[in-house]
């Protein structure tokens, strides 16, 4: 470790921000070099030096030095003065659209956890209605963005200045399906179904009617049928058309974790071994994916880890498979993957600080 | 049933309101005579005839006729035009303070689920800071109010025009302790402890940081130590001084139900039988209290019923007892007790429509 | 009500048995005529007149007269002596295979909640490995059995002596899919997916590693992929081949409720109205199915009711639909449907005692 | 680190065992020196080299090297052959009574997580009915045992050969109350109440009626009133008589975490500062206790850490206090405290491997 880098986190107040702070504070390559935390909190006067991090997230008290850290008032001058090398944005989409150009101009690398720069097809971006859509600047930035899934774009991420960190549902489904589709064995004409279920932290920290304990507890509900924002990511990254995949998210009465049950038909009969071989080859050199060879993964075994767990079951004919994938929506589905991207950018072991 | 009465509910949008609507819609003495629902919903135009009740509470669709009912824009004229006899107020405290005088003037009886008229000692009311505190009108109204716990004030409720429906925590603790204190067997000098735990519905329907699923789930927290608003009710109704009782509420990660674990010292050694006799005598003729003679009650057995369940355990010396009481905070702790009060007022069997 | 019938329940110790007892005790047509409860409890001496029902199920104490009832030692003489007309079996499959012949011989009608007589295709029964499979007696009994889903077989149930009450998952999925398949609008070549999720009560009352709180809480898991026992019911009752449907059950961390997310392709583009018309026609005269016209159903609104709730969403092309169905696995998925079948047999209103 | 020690864990199959394995596998002072895991699993043939650790606890797969480890058939020869220095027993009480003498004879130090050696007063041990009670050997062993709470017995633990690791409830209550009682400020005549609530993992891994999801979920129950086994530990370690304290445990519907709400009267009025000073002095040099100075601790902030969190609230008179303490029952309440004791024995920093 000849060089230590300086990180910064903007948007630390949410759940993903809290996990990002925790991971960076404990990252062995960043020892003694805590991130700069910058932001705003409604109704709080940040002007006098910021808010203690442990006031925003009492959970963080368990981390070395977190007691001394503060979230400071955001300004570009602050970030420059501190010599920030890598900027993590856990901010709303539109804010990331607005801030990334300046951050790049100022020489920082950016790992953006929002959906601002994930999609290459303008049709898929339409759902976000970015206010700068269609401008030359936005197009130029988008051209530099790399989709931040190391299992697919490891090389491109290594040299990227802007990493668009994937969505949580998208990560869960893409890792299950892209290997099979890329191997050319899936009968796309018969359609793929991705039925996904997420814990409540995926709905964000803002108190709403749907995050109320009384709404979520003891229930299950499907939502955004055919219209969820992550669908564009699935189409672009799995390599299918919108007619070839259906994706339905559900709200689970648990704090964290996503499980997707994915259904595919094969062109030709497969065997357990032939399918396992496809996954093994695809994920060779990918330390954060665990292939379940004998059973199906469950949320309880992937939660609070950065692993994506994948298992599958064939029918007797070998023509159909159920692929179950699961992960922690705040780790491999957000902040853990962001740190994984940092590791790739810096040339560190990919799972550093994530086990 | 020679006369059918007309009820009305103001404040049907909350959890207590929903339960009240359900109970009144299914009450055998009110068959074919659904309540008038009157109120306001923020951001909703009530002017054109109101909002369907099942839009506010999808759960109510399971009840006869609920599909045809609406919450109408509140006005005194509406209530008078419909010939309302008994008005249920599931409204904020201050609103109940303001509306009860007019309702009484217009000849209606009122069962008020707020804390507006529960407390006789001005010192206990101070915590609510009612804007009309100290006025002659408020004093006159307060003088008429009867604390709506039929197990104690059955006779007074029967003739009352204004019933102050008790708090949920207060009901749980008072029913456990008043019989013992009233029997004169408790050593008050050594102090009573009431450690109570409530499900999240007790915190109301408004989405807040504390009703967020992520805050309540998988946790437990004590709050309002020494300062909870229901303490005044405990003092007045159990018959103790503030130095003689400590009450601590906790937020449980469950939708509904309250359990209180109450600790008392006796002046003289008691036996299981002597204590049971005190309870049996106190609750003779009280169909909504179940005395557990062999085990301790649990939330799961009282939830979704209007029963208050009470059980106790003595130590070997017979000098100390743990009394466990539990009930459903939305039923015996709120709307069920309100209907019980209606039954008492009308001279119907006390448990009518509640089993 | 010129004639009152005598019911009996064998197998009251489980969750379905408890719900069945509750429903029958409160059924208006059975007033004053409680069921005979017969059975065995391991380690308990039933010989001296039985076990109080409320000892087995403390929840039942809330029901009129339950305090006086006992579960008596099972014998055919007992049932005959009490003049049992309708026998409910909430017993293991093999026991139902063994007991139904004698019950029919003795002139009782049987509503069997097990899977013993649900399947007409021997290949589908193979998974249960019934010990009397292939005997002439079993074939003769099977020939009389009617699949107990009133929405499909109302007429046949009315005249049946043996009703095979459907499985909980099967009910959820069949009600969502049979109307569409029967209407001939589904493109079966492209395959149907039924992704179902059930609360823990579906796993039974026996304490096992998988019903332990620590296993189920905060998690989600898929199981029995391609091999669940209810698959045969789906195939026979929806009218598809095993190649045309995939069914995956999941264990949800909630006490009760099932939600199935079903995926179909249509042969020709449909509209919201054309699909709704199919459902409306199919369920005309079916009071226990609620069609959601504007939103998707959720577990929280069907739980503790006997309704099956169905809603759907089309994609833009009208060629694909997501159909969400949900119900309470212990009511419409078991005991509620059993009582619904009783109502049909007796010619009573189908929803009697179920609202 | 001049010397590396060899640890062994007997009884790794339970929840405490799993946490102990995880902690020891990640302990920086034991790097490359994984524990020997020895034991038995019913119905499993351990003879052929043992069972993979990750088969017993899939969660452990996330830990370096866990994939290669096995639980081997227990024998004294195995432990001696591997040169075990410190033996952790997460075994039933009676087994610990039987095995500790031999372990000590063979020169191992023992950290025993059972209750076998925690109690000095024979009257308190009576509840466990140890089969060797009253023997000279047992008395000799007991005389060597040190109660494993470093916050109280740090010096004695440092030189101990046998550490009796405290109970989970006991740890929670003792840390809250001993400092106040030891300071002489508590009015013991008026009695102390300790009302404690624990998550389901505290009830063990064996599937029972009470650990069934359907029993624990959505409920709360008190149990073992006046008779819980941990009461003896409270009396001995807080320094009170059995008449001076009441302890009631409750079963919370959450996986892990304990919160105790403790009630005391003071002899003389105290201030927030005077009480805080007592705690600060008592816990000076205790890195695993966090004193909450402004708010009350909650389960969510101590769970998955080895901290015991303590906060308190005085009434206006300063004569009464509510002390809330909470911790993770499997960490500070069991395995984390065991590792903390290992650290003390070895002279390592007390929180090593625990943050």
Residue-wise pLDDT tens digits, A145-193: 999 999 999 999 999 999 999 999 999 999 999 999 999 999 999 999 9
pLDDT at A195 over 60: yes
Top residue of A14, A59, A199, A212 to mutate, by most chain B CBs within 10 Å, is: A212
State pLDDT tens for residues A116-137.
999 999 999 999 999 999 999 9
Cα C107 to Cα B184: distance, rounded to the nearest angstrom = 63
Query: Which of C209, C214, C299 to probe by mutation at the D interface, max D CB count within 10 Å?
Result: C214
Residue A21 resides in a domain:
yes
Based on the domain organization, do C149 and C34 belong to the same domain? yes
How far is Cα C125 from Cα C133, in angstroms, rounded to an integer? 9
Smallest CA-to-CA distance from C153 within C275, C162, C181 is with: C162
If contacts are CB pairs under 8 Å, which of residues 176-205 in chain B contact chain A?
200-201, 205
pLDDT (tens digit, 9 = 90+) per residue, A23-67?
999 999 999 899 999 987 655 656 667 888 988 888 887 666 777
Residue A300 contacts D where some CB pair is shorter than 8 Å: yes
Chains within contact range of chain C (3+ C-beta pairs < 8 Å): A, B, D
Q: What is the pLDDT of residues C282-329, one digit of tens each?
A: 999 999 999 998 899 999 999 999 999 999 999 999 999 999 999 999
Give me the pLDDT at residue B50, please: 85
Record: contact C61-B218, CB cut-off 8 A: no
Q: Are residues D308 and D182 in the same domain?
A: yes
D205 to C213: CB separation less than 8 angstroms, yes or no: no
Nearest CB partner across the interface for B59, out of C58, C218, C301: C301
- For D7-51, how does the pLDDT look when each residue is reduced to its tens digit (9 = 90+)? 999 999 999 999 999 999 999 999 989 999 998 765 565 666 788
Closest-CA residue of D relative to A302 is D59
C352 within domain boundaries? no
B contacts of C62 (beta carbons < 8 Å): 305, 307, 355
A chain contacts of residue D59, beta-carbon cutoff 8 Å: 300-301
Whether A1 has a pLDDT exceeding 50, the answer reads no
Confidence tier at A353 by pLDDT (50, 70, 90): very high
B223 and B250 belong to one structural domain = yes
Cβ(C313)–Cβ(C340) below 8 Å? no
Q: Which of B90, B168, B327, B338 is catalytic?
A: B168
Do A217 and A105 lie in one domain? The reply is no
One domain for residues C134 and C191? no
Measuring CA to CA, which residue among A200, A168, A153, A111 is closest to residue A327?
A168
Kindly report the three-state secondary structure assignment for every residue of chain C: CCCCCCEEEECCCCHHHHHHHHHHHCCHHHCCCCCEEEECCCCCCCCCCCEEHHHHCHHHHHCCCHHHCEEEECCHHHHHHCCCCEEEECCCHHHHHHHHHHHHHCCCEEEECCCCCCCCCHHHHHHHCCCCCCCHHHHHHHHHCEECCHHHHHHHHHCCCEEECCCHHHHHHHHHHHHHHHCCCECHHHCEEEEEEECHHHHCCCCCCCCEHHHHCCCCEECCCCCCCCHHHHHHHHHCCHHHEEEEEEECCCCCCEEEEEEEEECCCCCHHHHHHHHHHHCCCCCCEEECCCCCCCHHHHCCCCCEEEEEEECCCCCEEEEEEEECCCHHHHHHHHHHHHHHHHCCCCCCCCC
Largest CA distance in chain A: 68
Q: Which chains touch B (3 or more CB pairs under 8 A)?
A: A, C, D
Q: Residue B1: inside a domain, yes or no?
A: no
pLDDT band at C1 (very low <50, low <70, confident <90, very high): very low
Tell me, yes or no, whether B351 lies in a domain: no
Contacts of C269 (CB under 8 A, 6+ apart): C317, C318, C319
Q: Looking at the complex, does the CB of residue D43 fall below 8 Å from at least one CB of chain C?
A: no
- C45: distance to nearest CA of chain A, Å? 37
Q: What is the CATH number of the domain that holds D226?
A: 3.30.360.10
Same domain, residue pair A323 and A174? yes
Q: Which of A6-15, C210-219, D67-76, D109-118 has the lowest mean pLDDT?
A: D67-76
* A254 vs B: CB within 8 A: yes
Q: Does residue C105 belong to any structural domain of this protein?
A: yes
More confident residue, B44 or A244: A244
> Containing domain of residue C79, as a range?
7-165+334-346
Sort strands A245-251 and A192-198 into parallel, antiparallel or unpaired: parallel
Q: Indicate whether A74 and A218 sit together in one domain.
A: no
Q: What is the mean pLDDT of residues C101-120?
A: 97
For residue C330 the two structure tokens come to 């212990």
Highest mean pLDDT among B33-47, B335-349, C64-78: B335-349
With CB atoms and an 8 Å threshold, state whether A255 touches C195: no
**DSSP structure class, residue D189:** G
Same domain, C157 and C219: no
Q: How many domains are there within chain A? A: 2
How sure is the predictor about C32, in pLDDT bands with cuts at 50, 70 and 90? confident
* Number of residues assigned to chain B: 355
Q: Given A25, A168, A245, A326, which residue is catalytic?
A: A168
CA separation for the pair B288, B309 (Å, rounded): 9
pLDDT tens digits, residue range D332-354?
A: 999 999 999 999 999 999 999 99
Residues of A in contact with D58 (CB under 8 A): 301
* Same domain? C339 vs C297: no
pLDDT: which is higher, C61 or C128: C128
The mean pLDDT value of chain D amounts to 94
Determine whether D168 is an active site residue: yes
Q: How many Cα atoms occupy the beta-carbon half-sphere of C153 within 13 Å?
A: 24
**What is the least distance, in Å, from the CA of B66 to any CA of chain D?**
28
Query: Are residues A241 and A126 located together in one domain of the fold?
Result: no
B176 lies in a domain? yes
Task: For D56-98, write each residue's pLDDT tens digit.
Answer: 888 887 666 777 889 999 999 999 999 999 999 999 999 999 9
Gyration radius of chain B over CA positions: 20
| Confidence band, pLDDT 50/70/90 cuts, at residue C47 | low
* Per-residue pLDDT, D68: 82
- In the beta sheet, which residues pair with residue A164? A112, A147
pLDDT at C49: 74
Q: Which of C38, C111, C116, C168 is catalytic?
A: C168
Average confidence (pLDDT) over B168-195: 98
Residue C262 confidence (pLDDT) above 50: yes
pLDDT digits 0-9 by tens, B269-327: 999 999 999 999 999 999 999 999 889 999 999 999 999 999 999 999 999 999 999 99
**D354 in any annotated domain:** no
**Chain D residue numbers touching C211 (CB-CB < 8 A):** 207, 212-214
Residue A300 to residue D355, Cβ atoms within 8 A = no
Structure confidence by residue, pLDDT tens digits, C214-248? 999 999 999 999 999 999 999 999 999 999 999 99
Enumerate the β-bridge partners of residue B89.
B10, B112
Residue among B225, B319, B322 whose CB faces D248 most closely = B322
Q: Are residues B82 and B220 in the same domain?
A: no
Report whether pLDDT(D1) > 50: no
Q: Is residue A353 part of a domain?
A: no
The Cβ of residue D308 has, within 10 Å, a number of other Cβ atoms equal to 30
Cβ-defined contact of C222 to A316 (cutoff 8 Å)? no
- For residue D47, the model assigns a pLDDT of 60
pLDDT tier at C67, thresholds 50, 70, 90: confident
Let me know: does C265 contact C203? Beta carbons within 8 Å. no
CATH number of the domain that residue D83 is part of: 3.40.50.720
The model's pTM: 0.96
Q: Are strands B192-198 and B245-251 parallel, antiparallel or unpaired?
A: parallel
Q: Tell me how far apart the alpha carbons of residues B9 and B340 are, in angstroms, rounded to a whole number.
A: 15
Among D83, D144, D154, D81, CA closest to D117: D144
What pLDDT does B1 receive? Answer: 44
pLDDT digits (tens, 9 = 90+) for C150-163: 999 999 999 999 99
Residue of C211, C253, C254 lying closest to D207 (CB–CB):
C211
Residues B132 and B57 grouped into a single domain: yes
Query: What DSSP character marks residue A186?
Result: B
């Amino acid at each position: 470790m000849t060089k230590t880098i300086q990180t910064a986190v903007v948007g630390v107040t949410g759940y993903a921000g809290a996990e990002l702070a925790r991971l960076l504070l404990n990252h062995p390559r960043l020892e003694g070099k805590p991130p700069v935390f910058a932001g705003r909190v409604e109704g709080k006067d940040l002007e006098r030096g910021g808010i203690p991090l442990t006031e925003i997230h009492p959970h963080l008290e368990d981390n070395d030095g977190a007691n001394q850290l503060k979230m400071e008032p955001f300004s570009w001058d602050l970030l420059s003065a501190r010599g920030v090398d890598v900027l993590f944005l856990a901010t709303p989409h539109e804010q990331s659209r607005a801030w990334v150009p300046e951050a790049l101009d100022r020489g920082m690398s950016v790992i953006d956890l929002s959906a601002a720069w994930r999609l290459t097809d303008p049709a898929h971006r339409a759902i976000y209605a970015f206010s700068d859509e269609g401008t030359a600047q936005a197009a130029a930035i988008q051209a530099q963005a790399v989709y931040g899934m190391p299992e697919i774009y490891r090389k491109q991420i290594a040299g990227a200045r802007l990493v668009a960190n994937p969505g949580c549902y998208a990560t869960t489904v893409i890792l299950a399906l892209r290997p099979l589709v890329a191997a050319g064995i899936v009968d796309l004409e018969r359609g793929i179904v991705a039925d996904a279920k997420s814990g409540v932290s995926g709905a964000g920290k803002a108190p709403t009617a749907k995050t109320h304990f009384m709404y979520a507890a003891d229930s299950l509900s499907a939502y955004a049928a055919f219209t969820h924002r992550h669908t564009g990511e699935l189409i672009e990254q799995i390599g299918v058309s919108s007619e070839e995949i259906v994706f339905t998210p559900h709200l689970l009465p648990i704090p964290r974790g996503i499980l997707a049950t994915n259904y595919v038909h094969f062109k030709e009969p497969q065997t357990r071994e032939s399918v396992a071989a496809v996954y093994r080859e695809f994920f060779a050199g990918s330390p954060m994916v665990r292939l379940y060879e004998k059973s199906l993964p469950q949320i309880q075994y992937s939660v609070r880890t950065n692993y994506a767990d994948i298992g599958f079951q064939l029918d007797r004919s070998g023509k159909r498979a159920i692929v179950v994938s699961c992960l922690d929506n705040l780790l491999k589905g957000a902040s853990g993957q962001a740190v994984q991207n940092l590791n790739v950018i810096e040339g560190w072991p990919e799972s550093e600080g994530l086990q």
